[in-house]
A and B are shown apart, each in its own frame.
Chain A
Amino acid sequence: MKRRLLLLAPIAVAAWLLPYGLGGYTMHVVDVAVIFAILAIGLGLTMGVAGQINLAQVAFFGVGAYTVAILTTRTGLSFWPAAVLAILAAVAAGLLVGIPALRMQSHYLGIVTLGLALGFINWVTNAGIAGRAEGISNIPVPPLFGIDLSSGYLFYYLELVVFALVLAFALFVTRSPLGRRMRAMRDDGLAAGALGAEIPLLRMTAFVLSGLYGGVAGLLYAGLIQFVAPETFSISNMFLLLAMVIIGGRASVIGCVIGALGLAFVREALLDVSAYAQLGYGIVVVLVVVFFPQGLAGLPAQVFRRKARERPRLAPFVPYDEAPPTPARTALEIDQVTKRFKGLVALQDVSLSVPVREIRGIVGPNGSGKTTLFNVISGFYTPTAGRVRLDGNAVTGLTPYRLSLEGIARTFQNLRLFEDLTVRDNVLVALDRTRTSWIWRYLALPWAVAGYDRSLRGRAEEVLQRFGLSDFADAIPRLLPYGIQRRVEIARAMASSPSLLLLDEPAAGLNGDEVGRLAEIVRSIRDSGVTVVVIEHNMGLVMSLCDHITVLSGGRVIADGSPDEVAVDPRVVEAYLGDSMTAPTEREAEHDHADR
């Protein structure tokens, strides 16, 4: 913290002293560059952090600027009330553009946002109220305690204060629970939803932030230039903005600022050869994408490779405290659930009920519908027919994030960790149990958010330590061995304090020793009062771990009973066990002795 302040102070002083060394025209260039930096931050938040392709940022900018222009020149409103309305208008535009994001993603979203931006340009070029192609001039100079803001020098200081505020807010958002959730959504929307992130609201939030930054930039622009015309908000400027964000490093707010300032000056330098400038940006963007995929912000990490260090080690699991016994009740009840996909029946009248604090095994041949059943329970699929009850409450058809908040957590057969987040951040995403509606606090009570984040961080260290993952806290999951990734996924699921834990093949990729430790972990989770349902092919583990086993085949329940009953059921032997090789097991020893 102190080091950061030490670094910040000279930058702040330099920014403050800058105008003393500049000529009038250069000052104007700097003023415009700062406005573009604000726009770039907004774009970085939506595109880089939240992963929402947004080609309408320049339109939000335009909505802000035009709202000020129209309100001050046509209705005689004074500058600052018009500015407030401009921000609101840009945020509303953000909401509007964000609606398509609820249904589509990636390049489709890019095309739609681009279309909306073009629609805006078209409107301002043709509407009488917006001054058509000539634009609107004579926008009043913003009054400010008698300071003459028509001077580019003094306006710079207003910009500087606003810029510092919006930059601080952006940094605050990216480093807090909201920013983590947005990054989690970018990396894997499904898994983020399963951990309680309200994906639709989060996407809208990203576009609202984008609109907010566009609006602020727009009103500053109107106040600075006192003239707005359609070409400022053209697609070529949108591309410039995009280039700024990509060159700077889209996932880093500071990178976006550096990219924006840098490219704004490059553009100025290329003004004489502007015919080739666009081509130049294009080439630079391609080079950056190829050689520095993280942008300039990723350079330090690329240059200063971390020195060789100790091999991180998986520490032993620290068992949970045993919970006092609870009265017997049904934790999960699945009642006549059927799931069809276009004629393919994945589940047919499946019923099962799991009492609280039981470890239930689900086994069956590959393709028998086990994972489909998990997807129905955790809300990824809505069943075609039938009901799911959690602690007696009907939860059929609820969204994954609602079910997560109701107490269901799961792991995934193919691992769905957030690849660009550290192990610690993966756990932190799950620890955050707030609803998205909580985020008004980011504007009203930022210190309360900071305090909440601190408490989450404390608890994250506890979770990591409990699961023996402290050594891996700063690691990127993708680079970890499979078995450790599986442990991280269980830790992440448990961080959401569930009452029902669904484990999809937790022993896949573990050797005998590790399978034994997994069994220990799952038993401790059960003893802490959590009901566990586990899909597993490792029959040795299933037999020793599970209190009760349900066997699926072809989407139907073919057997249901204690491990010993199920193992000798002829239908199970025929459909599933065969006369074959089981994976490394805990109980193998006994079988082995019997063989000899």
Chain B
Amino acid sequence: MTTLTVEGLSVRYGGVRAAHNVSFTVEPGQSLGIIGANGAGKTSTLKAIMGLAPRQARAIRFGKDDLLRAAPHTLVRRGIGYVPEGRHVFPGLTVEKNLLLGAYCRSWKNTPIAEIYDLFPVLGDMRHRPAGTLSGGQQQMLAVGRALMCRPKVMLLDEPSMGLSPILVGEIANVLKRLNADGLGIVLVEQNAKLTFEVTTTCLVMENGEIAATGTSRELRHDPQVRRIYLGL
């Protein structure tokens, strides 16, 4: 089994504690949402799992592999995809080259690029345009597509809905649900709690760097406090 296990993860920047004692597991086909206010430690948690932030943890495992000492790029090779906050596409390279770079750990001849163009037709239309000339929302789709190029088993997504029009938010939700149904494990960090509840089955609520509540997305959706804070109701 390729289960992503995170146990007792803490992140510190200098003197400031960004996340503390975060634990969860995600199996392929499962989906976990993480919601919380700005500064709650959601992004730091994802970055720390990928080894991109200073971290301490009892364990971070993927299947039987210990990830605590693994370099970030080896995580991608093992089957963990990552869509960073704020897109980070390569602006000078074409859409197609951005996607191909996402597949660097596989043979470039046998990539799922056609599937990506199926998922996001607009990327196919713009395949020869430099990524920097795409609109913000298109770049966001490119970032998701790029992470999918490695055929990940579990994917960490940091605010994929940021900057997307309502129609595209709906499309992203459908894409994620479809991928999830096909067996992809998903960890979704979002400010858009509605999207999170729609896509995931389980949710963590983070506050001040710690997990403040855990529950099924259905329960949390109707929790009055969650509704007030995260849905603005």
* A, B: real partners: yes
Tell me the chain B residues, 135-187 only, with Cβ under 8 Å from chain A: 135-138, 159, 161-171, 173
Inter-subunit contact A512/B15 (CB<8 Å): no
Contact with B along A555-596 (1 / 0, CB 8 A): 000000000000000000000111111111110110010000
Question: Please, which residues of chain A bring their CB within 8 A of the CB of B171?
Answer: 580
Stretch at the interface among A30-38, A307-315, A439-447: A307-315
Task: Decide: A514 near B169, CB < 8 A? Known: A367-B135, A371-B135.
Answer: no
Residue of B nearest to A541 (CB): B232
Question: Please, which residues of chain A bring their CB within 8 A of the CB of B40?
Answer: 481
CA distance A505 to B230 in the complex (A): 19
Shortest distance from the beta carbon of B220 to any chain A beta carbon, whole Å: 13
Inter-subunit contact A511/B229 (CB<8 Å): yes
Inter-subunit contact A584/B230 (CB<8 Å): yes
Whether A126 sits at the interface, judged by CB under 8 Å, is no
Number of A-B contacts (CB under 8 A): 155
Question: Please, which residues of chain B bring their CB within 8 A of the CB of A581?
Answer: 166, 169-170, 173, 192, 194-195, 198
Whether A19 sits at the interface, judged by CB under 8 Å, is no
Contact of A511 (CB < 8 Å), options: B38, B85, B122: B38
Inter-subunit contact B86/A311 (CB<8 Å): no
Contact of A515 (CB < 8 Å), options: B16, B133, B232: B232
Contact of B137 (CB < 8 Å), options: A309, A363, A366, A484: A366
Shortest distance from the beta carbon of B125 to any chain A beta carbon, whole Å: 10
Shortest distance from the beta carbon of B19 to any chain A beta carbon, whole Å: 12
Residue of A nearest to B85 (CB): A482
Contact of B168 (CB < 8 Å), options: A366, A505, A584, A586: A366
Inter-subunit contact A484/B39 (CB<8 Å): yes
Contact of B194 (CB < 8 Å), options: A306, A479, A578, A582: A582
CA distance A363 to B230 in the complex (A): 23
Question: Please, which residues of chain B bring their CB within 8 A of the CB of A407?
Answer: none
Inter-subunit contact A584/B136 (CB<8 Å): no
CA distance A482 to B168 in the complex (A): 21
Question: Please, which residues of chain B bring their CB within 8 A of the CB of A577?
Answer: 166-167
CA distance A18 to B87 in the complex (A): 57
Residue of B nearest to A483 (CB): B38
Question: Please, which residues of chain A bring their CB within 8 A of the CB of B114?
Answer: none
Inter-subunit contact B166/A584 (CB<8 Å): no
Tell me the chain B residues, 188-218 only, with Cβ under 8 Å from chain A: 191-195, 198, 208-209
Whether A508 sits at the interface, judged by CB under 8 Å, is yes
Whether B43 sits at the interface, judged by CB under 8 Å, is yes
Whether B24 sits at the interface, judged by CB under 8 Å, is no
Inter-subunit contact A484/B193 (CB<8 Å): no
Inter-subunit contact B43/A481 (CB<8 Å): yes
Question: Please, which residues of chain A bring their CB within 8 A of the CB of B13?
Answer: 479
Question: Please, which residues of chain A bring their CB within 8 A of the CB of B39?
Answer: 314, 480-481, 483-484
Question: Please, which residues of chain A bring their CB within 8 A of the CB of B138?
Answer: 366-367
Question: Please, which residues of chain B bring their CB within 8 A of the CB of A583?
Answer: 161, 166, 169, 191-192, 194-195
Whether B228 sits at the interface, judged by CB under 8 Å, is yes
Inter-subunit contact A414/B86 (CB<8 Å): yes
Contact of B164 (CB < 8 Å), options: A314, A366, A368, A480: A366
Shortest distance from the beta carbon of B161 to any chain A beta carbon, whole Å: 7
CA distance A592 to B138 in the complex (A): 30
Contact of B16 (CB < 8 Å), options: A309, A371, A413, A482: A309
Inter-subunit contact A584/B38 (CB<8 Å): no
Task: Decide: A580 near B167, CB < 8 A? Known: A311-B16, A586-B232, A589-B233.
Answer: yes
Whether A516 sits at the interface, judged by CB under 8 Å, is yes
Whether B224 sits at the interface, judged by CB under 8 Å, is no
Question: Please, which residues of chain A bring their CB within 8 A of the CB of B133?
Answer: 341
Inter-subunit contact B15/A509 (CB<8 Å): no
Inter-subunit contact A580/B38 (CB<8 Å): no
Question: Please, which residues of chain B bring their CB within 8 A of the CB of A4?
Answer: none
Residue of B nearest to A369 (CB): B135
Shortest distance from the beta carbon of B208 to any chain A beta carbon, whole Å: 6
Contact of B193 (CB < 8 Å), options: A311, A415, A511, A516: A511
Inter-subunit contact B228/A513 (CB<8 Å): yes
Question: Please, which residues of chain B bring their CB within 8 A of the CB of A513?
Answer: 37, 228-230, 232
Shortest distance from the beta carbon of A410 to any chain B beta carbon, whole Å: 15
Inter-subunit contact B195/A505 (CB<8 Å): no
Question: Please, which residues of chain A bring their CB within 8 A of the CB of B52?
Answer: none
Question: Please, which residues of chain B bring their CB within 8 A of the CB of A3?
Answer: none
Shortest distance from the beta carbon of A52 to any chain B beta carbon, whole Å: 23
Question: Please, which residues of chain B bring their CB within 8 A of the CB of A142?
Answer: none
CA distance A117 to B230 in the complex (A): 60
Contact with B along A90-115 (1 / 0, CB 8 A): 00000000000000000000000000
Inter-subunit contact B15/A308 (CB<8 Å): yes
Residue of B nearest to A579 (CB): B170
CA distance A415 to B191 in the complex (A): 17
Inter-subunit contact B193/A512 (CB<8 Å): yes
Question: Please, which residues of chain B bring their CB within 8 A of the CB of A308?
Answer: 15-17
Whether A537 sits at the interface, judged by CB under 8 Å, is yes
CA distance A584 to B40 in the complex (A): 18
CA distance A394 to B170 in the complex (A): 41
Residue of A nearest to B129 (CB): A344
Shortest distance from the beta carbon of A190 to any chain B beta carbon, whole Å: 13
Contact with B along A234-251 (1 / 0, CB 8 A): 000000000000000000
Inter-subunit contact B230/A537 (CB<8 Å): no
CA distance A386 to B79 in the complex (A): 51
Residue of A nearest to B37 (CB): A511
Residue of A nearest to B190 (CB): A511
Shortest distance from the beta carbon of B12 to any chain A beta carbon, whole Å: 8
Question: Please, which residues of chain A bring their CB within 8 A of the CB of B230?
Answer: 511-513, 584
Question: Please, which residues of chain B bring their CB within 8 A of the CB of A582?
Answer: 166, 169, 194
Whether A69 sits at the interface, judged by CB under 8 Å, is no
Inter-subunit contact B43/A584 (CB<8 Å): no
Whether B35 sits at the interface, judged by CB under 8 Å, is yes
Whether B71 sits at the interface, judged by CB under 8 Å, is no
Residue of B nearest to A480 (CB): B39
Question: Please, which residues of chain A bring their CB within 8 A of the CB of B159?
Answer: 482, 509
Shortest distance from the beta carbon of B216 to any chain A beta carbon, whole Å: 19
Whether A510 sits at the interface, judged by CB under 8 Å, is yes
Counting chain B CB atoms within 10 Å of each CB, which of A367, A368, A585, A588 scores highest?
A367
Inter-subunit contact A367/B137 (CB<8 Å): yes
CA distance A44 to B208 in the complex (A): 41
Shortest distance from the beta carbon of A357 to any chain B beta carbon, whole Å: 26
Inter-subunit contact A514/B37 (CB<8 Å): yes
Interface residues, chain A, with chain B CB atoms under 8 Å away: 305-309, 311-312, 314, 341, 363-368, 371, 413-415, 479-484, 505, 508-516, 537, 539-540, 576-586, 588-589, 592
Contact sample, A vs B, 29 pairs, CB 8 Å cutoff: A308-B17, A309-B15, A311-B17, A364-B165, A366-B136, A366-B137, A366-B163, A367-B134, A482-B38, A482-B43, A483-B37, A483-B191, A509-B38, A511-B232, A512-B230, A513-B37, A537-B164, A576-B166, A577-B166, A579-B170, A580-B167, A581-B169, A581-B170, A581-B198, A583-B166, A583-B195, A584-B193, A588-B233, A589-B233
Add 14 more A-B contacts to A482-B43, A509-B38 (CB < 8 A): A305-B14, A413-B163, A511-B230, A511-B232, A576-B166, A580-B170, A581-B166, A581-B173, A582-B194, A583-B169, A583-B195, A584-B193, A584-B232, A588-B233
The 4 residue pairs across chains A and B that have the minimum distance between CB atoms:
A512-B232, A366-B137, A483-B38, A580-B170
